[in-house]
Amino acid sequence: MKKIFFAVLILLILSAGCSDTKKETVETAKTILSLPDKAAVTADLVQIRNSVNFFYAQKGFFPEDLGVLNLNLNNPESDFIYDQSKGSVKHKDYPQI
């Protein structure tokens, strides 16, 4: 009787642990798959911000839009939010970067 009780107890513990592990594995996989996209956005933002600052240093005003800079970006220019009055740039999907 004790053996059956312990066997059932172990099965319950293992089955409860498996569901959490599966959920964590899926979340980790999603995070890992999004990293290359985030890295490309970060690289684009660095390139855009440096170009905007260089443009401002040369001409004394910020460019009207990002198309003026003729940059070779990983993401389309339409994905970026540009504020000409401040010269600031954000990505629509990653505004915290």
Pairing of strands 80-83, 88-91: antiparallel
C-alpha of 50 from chain center: 20
Structure confidence at residue 32 (pLDDT):
74
- Quick one: which of 96, 88, 29 has its CA closest to 56? 88
Question: Which residues are paired to 89 by β-bridges?
Answer: 82
- pLDDT tens digit sequence for 25-35: 778 777 777 77
Residue 84 has a pLDDT of: 96
- Whether 14 has a pLDDT exceeding 70, the answer reads no
Q: How far apart are CA 14 and CA 93, in angstroms?
A: 38
pLDDT tens per residue across span 35-49: 788 899 999 999 999
pTM score of the predicted model: 0.69
